[in-house]
Amino acid sequence: MSDSTAPRYAEVYRRSVESPEAFWAEQAQWIDWRQPWRQVLDASRPPFAPWFPGGLTNLCHNAVDRHLEHRAEQAALIYVSTETGIETRFSYAQLHREVQIMAASLQALGVEQGDRVLIYMPMIPEAVFAMLACVRIGAVHSVVFGGFASVSLAARIEDAQPKVIVSADAGSRGGKAVPYKPLLDAALQQAQHQPQHVLIVDRGLVGWSRQQPRDVSYAELRVRHAQAQVPCVWVDATHPSYILYTSGTTGKPKGVQRDTGGYAVALHMSMRLIFGGKPGETFFSTSDIGWVVGHSYIVYAPLLVGMTTILYEGTPIRPDAAVFWRIIEQYRANLLFSAPTAMRVLKRHDPALLHRHDLSSLRAIFLAGEPLDEPTGSWVAQSLGKPVIDNYWQTETGWPMLATPQAFPEVAARPGSPGVPMPGYKVCLRNETDGAAVAVGEKGVLAVDWPLPPGCLQTVWGDDARFQHTYWSTYPNLQVYSTFDWGRQDADGYYTILGRTDDVINVAGHRLGTREIEECISAHPAVAEVAVVGVQDALKGQAAWAFVVLRPAAEALDAASQQDAIAAHVNATLGAVARPQRICLVTALPKTRSGKMLRRAIQAICEGRDPGDLSTLEDPLALQQIPDAIART
Residue 427 placed within a domain: no
**pLDDT value at residue 519:** 75
Q: Would you say residue 431 lies in a domain?
A: no
Counting as low any pLDDT under 70, the low residues of the chain are 1-7, 247-251, 503, 592-596, 613, 615-616
Examine residue 223 and state whether it is found in any structural domain, yes or no. Answer: yes
**How far apart, in whole angstroms, are the C-alpha atoms of residue 633 and residue 629?**
7
| Burial 264-274, CB ≥16 within 10 A → b, else e | bbbbbbbbbbb
Amino acid in the structure at residue 145: F
- End position of a domain, from candidates 176, 210, 228: 228
The reported pLDDT for the residue numbered 108 is 98
Is residue 203 one of the residues assigned to a domain?
Answer: yes
Residue finishing a domain among 165, 198, 228: 228
Per the document, the length of the chain is 633
Q: Counting runs of H as helices and runs of E as strands, what totals does the chain give?
A: 21, 30
For 474, what's the count of Cα atoms within 13 Å in the CB-facing half-sphere? 26
309 occurs within a structural domain: no
Residue 7 has what DSSP assignment? I
pLDDT tens-place string over residues 185-223: 999 999 999 999 999 999 999 999 999 999 999 999 999
Which spans in 420-489 are helix H? 464-472
Residue 131 parent element (H or E): helix 125-136
| Domain annotation covers residue 588 | yes
**Residue 392 forms part of a structural domain:** no
Q: What is the SS3 assignment for 359?
A: coil
Q: For the chain, how many structural domains are there in total?
A: 2
Among 206, 228, 250, where does a domain finish? 228
Amino acid occupying residue 94: Q
Residue 607 structural domain: 504-632
CA distance 293 to 275: 13
- What CATH number does the domain containing 97 carry? 3.40.50.980
In this structure, are residues 202 and 166 in contact, taking their beta carbons and an 8 Å threshold? no
Instruction: Say if residue 101 is exposed, middle or buried (CB neighbours under 10 Å; 0-12, 13-18, 19+).
Output: buried
pLDDT at 61: 98
Per-residue pLDDT, 3: 46
DSSP 8-state symbol, 626: H
Look at residue 2 in the predicted model and tell me its pLDDT. Answer: 44
Compute, in degrees rounded to 10, the torsion defined by CA atoms 144, 145, 148, 150. Answer: 30
pLDDT tens profile 517-526: 887 898 898 9
In a domain, 21, yes or no: no
CA distance 496 to 154: 37
CATH of the domain at 611: 3.30.300.30
pLDDT given at position 242: 98
Identify the pLDDT of residue 596.
60
pLDDT at residue 595, rounded to an integer: 56
